[in-house]
Chains A and B, each alone.
Chain A
């Protein structure tokens, strides 16, 4: 968006966080330009929530520097950081009605009652809560509570919005809708947002910049499609994309331009780059990149199907192999369990990883 802004709105420089002997965050470097929507994504326990909480000031960082709007905030308490956070539980004040929830921060700042009422009405209109201002949180549905939590953040016009898995308590259809609403709101306000989620689809669809974390380390960060197309290692490759990428041990053939997959029948597929013959690799094949065809046709390797799941929009084929291969065919497909089909994948879509380190080979 506003990539022209030179100074990052939020900046982590070599940030570490220890809980006793537990190393929760390891050498985190992350710069977030003003106006960007950043998603922190990773499996539970990867440190994404801890990172967000250190940004909020709810946790102190052990070492490194944390800057907000160019100011070092390592020792600044949360209430002086001017950030708004939307909690997973929403953390609405149960004893206050919606209006008081929305204007709590303004009240603390000493904003006049009339001004607070005006702001509350304004924000309620933005988030669609106009006629609920006098309700208590317990009288609201999950989606309405979520909106109040958002409104409470918006009303403050903070330096940045922090979201801690805000949609995980909503049902699936509402989640998809709120996803779009949050992103639209972000664009309308032109704010800086940091969004924590364990759902890679949420991260990919909402964010400008996705940060994939594991075990306290940033594995890779970049634009959503960059992570999908050019994962730097096996972890990122497996985490981004649904269903997950297939990983198959393989050996480079004598030609150096094909690999033999360690599956039944030892199928051979072409790769885009030349490797020393005999090199052991792990091949990464995205389920949606594999083509299904006649097993006897040229370029297709035979594979036996053990199960078929049709969702209407796509058909999931599961191979009778170890490791099991998942193939996604768009639309319907006539294959049945027990059939043998042919599969093929374009050479430039085969990802190769080092079997020991998991790092992407080539490029």
Chain B
């Protein structure tokens, strides 16, 4: 048996092969589309030019068009609001639930498992479900708010421009809480019990233990969860498609949905690509935070 064959079976050759396949896969299915997307953002691509690989280069024309679009401001603001709002509430609710289920009471692990049921549902199904809950005429949420006297007239969540983004955000928060809870639960479980006992003997109250032990020990987990939360929220598409379609009048339009709308509704692939490129930049930044957080985790 040759040295090369032996190395391929068990040795540096085998390792190289594994890395090669992974890199080749990433390059073919993530790298190239990404690059092509950047190229598209500098070209004029309409429905009639779709068949060809290369198109007329128009420089920054697409970027100018996107920024001058009257919708751009709303979309930017909506995207920021939607992302920060979703992540903030997904995280705090998820953390609160994780802390709650971390208390070992009968059935705690079982109940925690039940929460995952929401997370495994397809986004479109969650969207349909929330359509019913949020319905202006017969929705449960309106019924609750009316009966508790919080509002006097029903809110038409999906068709009122003041509420449409909030409607999707509510659904998205509900959708993302279980994921946050599970990751944070894992982080909590990794903190040794005797640290809390030592702190208790050192005179720390429950609140002091939370701020001096739990939070600092969870730093890397929290960083990872928030980074993933931002990335997932920027990817959220199904709920917009199912609940508001970005409307009415663009009042719930966010970047990811707008990119799709420009590309596949208006068939202006160049402008759709521009938004995608800008989102890539943001996601890359967040991903860097994620990688840093997880690296710290292994060092602990």
B-contacting residues of A (Cβ < 8 Å)? 56-58, 77-81, 83-85, 87, 89, 91, 93-95, 104-105, 108-109, 138, 152, 156
Contacts and interface: CB of A to CB of B under 8 A. Distances in A.
Q: Most A CB atoms within 10 A — which of B197, B203, B204, B213? A: B203
A108 B200 contact: no
Contact of B204 (A56, A79, A91, A95): A79
B195 A77 contact: no
Given A91-B192, A91-B195, A78 B200 contact: yes
B202 A87 contact: no
A156 B203 CA distance: 10
Contacts of B199: 93, 104
Contacts of A84: 201-202
Contacts, number: 63
9 contacts: A57-B200, A58-B201, A78-B197, A79-B201, A81-B201, A91-B194, A95-B216, A108-B202, A109-B203
Contacts of B213: 93
Give chain B's interface residue range (CB within 8 Å of chain A): 10 to 19
Nearest to A108: B203
* Cβ-closest 10 pairs across A and B: A105-B202, A91-B198, A91-B194, A95-B216, A79-B203, A78-B200, A108-B203, A85-B201, A87-B194, A78-B201
B266 interface: no
A114 to B, nearest CB: 20
Contacts of B300: 94-95, 138
B194 A79 contact: no
B210 to A, nearest CB: 13
Nearest to A156: B202
B198 A87 contact: yes
A56 B201 contact: yes
B283 interface: no
Q: Is the interface of B mostly helix, strand, loop or mixed?
A: helix
Q: Most A CB atoms within 10 A — which of B197, B201, B219? A: B201
Interface in B151-208: 192, 194-195, 197-205, 208
Given A85-B201, A104-B204, A108-B212, 9 more contacts: A56-B197, A58-B201, A79-B200, A81-B201, A85-B197, A91-B195, A93-B213, A95-B216, A138-B300
A94 B299 CA distance: 11
Contact of B202 (A77, A79, A94): A79
Contacts of A81: 201
A96 to B, nearest CB: 8
B192 A89 contact: yes
B200 A58 contact: yes
B192 to A, nearest CB: 7
B201 A108 contact: no
Contacts of B217: 94-95
Contacts of B202: 79, 84, 104-105, 108, 152, 156
